[in-house]
Amino acid sequence: MSTSTIPESLKHFQLERVLNEDPVTHTIALLGQLQMEGGKLSSAIIRIEKTALSASSVLDVLSNLKDVQLIEHTDIYSWLFAWLNQSQDRPEVKINVVCPATEVHVRKYSAQQTILVRETPEIFERIVKPYIAAFPPTRIQWVYNILSGKSEVDKILYRDTSEDYGYVILPDMKWDLITVSSLYLVAIVQSKDIRCLRDLRRRHLGMLRGIRREASRIAKEKWGLSDGSIRFFVHYQPSYYHFHVHIVNANYIGTAGSTVGQAHLLDDLISMLELDPEDGPSIFERLTLTYGLGDQHGLYESMRAAQTELWESAS
């Protein structure tokens, strides 16, 4: 689908069902059909998110309300509904489009029930590693396009050109590019050999420290965020198997992915690697990891069965 046709296609989106709605993050994910060039319909996921309000624009918001209706009033408290005038400077919603959407995308964006699983090194080798290896490179072609300079060139905030230890830093697609309190960047490493945190070794310390240093510098120079104002974390399991680091405002809590059971602080990963010997197996090869896994994840059934084996062997 051409990017120029997406806005018009959204007006004719044919809804099939709601995949997920989250009142906490003010998001909703929809599955349906979008019309491609030539009139052909294609499966698509539309994720709509209310954009955040910034302190610098709140007075403009209040002075430019299109309509206000009183819902309830008691003593000193009042509740109202309000509609905002359209503004080119501050859009009311942010929309992400996945088209064509595969069954994997549908599962990813669907509401999920989560269980905690324990992944021993043996379970990783037997179940998780083959699962990761089976992912076709085409699934993350968009990552390779960023790294090669074919896409999002104008968004790159920093690029380390080292072939083995290089990386890029750019805004994450979840950020509205405006609200500093919800700042969200991502660092993507150049190497294809680091699929997840299990692949980290002591030799990667310089790269990880570089990501922490350069992202902190960028946040300070561009957005005035001082040291300690940024949270760096890595997901396990990640949403895609090419190593990347999430970089967010330390006060931003609008994503479930930053919670315990999925997020691992970059500082902790660095400290653990610093304890590694110069030779021998890495700590991430020897560690048992406990994390949350949704029932729509491709690993769910096999990992749930593996938990039964762990309990039986421990009893």
**Residues annotated catalytic, as ranges:** 244
CB-based contact 37:1 (threshold 8 Å): yes
Give, rounded to a whole angstrom, the gap between the first and last alpha carbons of the chain: 55
For 148, residues 6+ apart whose C-beta sits below 8 A from its C-beta are: none
Integer Cα distance of 109 and 31 in angstroms: 9
CB-based contact 28:110 (threshold 8 Å): no
Integer Cα distance of 42 and 203 in angstroms: 44
Q: Look at the block and give the residue holding tokens 């324990």.
A: 118
For 57, residues 6+ apart whose C-beta sits below 8 A from its C-beta are: 89, 90
